[in-house]
Amino acid sequence: MTIRVLVVDDSSFIRKRIAEILDQEQDIEIAGYAANGAEAVRKTQELRPDVITMDVEMPVMDGISATKQIMRDCPTPILMFSVSTQAGAKATLDALEAGAMDFLPKQLNEINGDVEVAKRLLRVRVLGLGGQSARFRQQRRVLSAATPSFRTPPPAPTPAPNGAVPAPRFRRVGARDLRLVAIASSTGGPVALQKILLEIPATFPLPILLVQHMPGSFTKSFAERLNQICKIRVKEAEHGDELRAGVAYLAPGGFQMELSEGARKTLVVRESRAGENYRPCADVTFGSIAKNLSGKVLAVVLTGMGSDGKLGAEKLKAAGASVWAQNEESCIVYGMPKAIVDANLADGVFDLNEMANELKSL
């Protein structure tokens, strides 16, 4: 399958640079170019690309306004490019709320310092979004129809070798059974997290750890935005933070967040090690929780590419924890939750609205 891309930027140099990077992938084809948001809206209608790469700051019409109009008239997966400043982070979060699916820093070397790795990541992101384009358009039609929320039952248990089918694992948990909630997400996660956290009351009796794949220049702004609109407190995690009920701790981009050993539970924020592909990584956080907090944990895996969180969820399940996954219909990208469901690790599979209600009921 060839992924057709519309490249949108007011700089001809940047448009050419993005095209050169994408052209190195044989399954990606440049469908066209646009120099501003208004032209992007028009060419999206004309060319029907599978993916759009979109700049934020442009003349005539900015990228956020263009994203809103495209999502209304011709829903298409959009990858935003943003500068890594506080203003750029705010604009990127606005773009995600407007309907963009994913984002990358405009200066690719800011991703991890290796330009070639960053170029490969750009191609992987475009391929991933392109593979979701048909389902994404269908999902946007469903959402625009304002269908009610629903709960998806857990997947059918895998038969044992002797043919016996184990009983379904789904069980409702309460705050008395738990000491911590941990939530992991990636592509589509900022909007999903905001939707869930907005429903949690200020009296929520548990601390919450948040692992969202996001560059370090964005996590502080994201935490501050959530803190302004949510009833609970939300902060970017710092080394030595002591866990408190009703506080959500967002793992800082570019680092790993772990739960400390010992009776006094604090957070360890450290540099990444070899083999830890995501910074932050849900597997790292989940694994440390499984090691240091036994089974008194609820882990939630939301929308995102890849399978980060699966290995950590296996460790949590072995320690007696509960694991929930977002259902396919409400995911922007059904990757991380799918890995949980396919591995038969999910104690419950929920629509995003129902997930918020279930957490609120704790």
Query: What is the average per-residue pLDDT within 35-39?
Result: 97
Q: Which domains occur in the chain, in start order?
A: 3-143 (3.40.50.2300), 151-361 (3.40.50.180)
pLDDT at 138: 64
What are the Cα distances from residue 146, in Å, to 71, 197, 303, 306? Answer: 15, 21, 20, 29
What mean pLDDT is reported for the chain?
A: 88
Q: Does the pTM of the predicted model rise above 0.75?
A: yes
Active site (catalytic) residues: 186, 213, 308
Higher pLDDT residue, 360 or 309?
A: 309
Model confidence at 112: pLDDT above 90: no
**Residue 22 banded pLDDT, cuts 50, 70, 90:** very high
Is the pLDDT at 164 greater than 60? The verdict is no
Q: Which of 32-36, 42-46, 193-197, 291-295 has the lowest mean pLDDT?
A: 291-295
Do residues 155 and 163 make contact, with C-beta atoms less than 8 angstroms apart?
Answer: no
Q: Are 299 and 286 in contact (CB under 8 A)?
A: yes
- DSSP characters for 261-302? SSSS-BEEEE---TT--SSS-HHHHHHHHHHHHTT-EEEEE-
Average pLDDT over residues 170-196: 86
Residues in a beta bridge with 52: 6, 78
Give pLDDT, residue 294.
76
**C-alpha dist (Å) from residue 62 to 10, 15, 42:** 10, 16, 14
Predicted local confidence at residue 152, as pLDDT: 43
Q: Is the pLDDT confidence value at 273 over 80? A: yes
* Mean pLDDT of the 100-107 span: 87
Predicted local confidence at residue 292, as pLDDT: 92
Q: Which of 72-76, 169-173, 177-181, 315-319 has the lowest mean pLDDT?
A: 169-173
Q: Say which residue, 309 or 149, is predicted with more confidence.
A: 309
Comparison of pLDDT for 275 and 115, the residue scoring more: 275
Which residue would you say has higher pLDDT here, 184 or 169? 184
Q: Considering only residues 106 and 241, tell me which one the structure prediction assigns the higher pLDDT.
A: 241
Task: Please determine, for residue 148, whether its predicted confidence score (pLDDT) is greater than 80.
Answer: no
At 175 the pLDDT is 65
As given in the structure block, the two tokens for residue 70 are 């495209």
Is the pLDDT at 171 greater than 80, yes or no? no
Q: Count the alpha carbons within 13 Å of 216 in the hemisphere toward its beta carbon.
A: 14
The predicted pLDDT at position 142 comes to: 52
- Residue among 208, 140, 212, 155 at smallest CA distance from 348: 155
Question: What band does 174 get if pLDDT is binned at 50, 70 and 90?
Answer: low
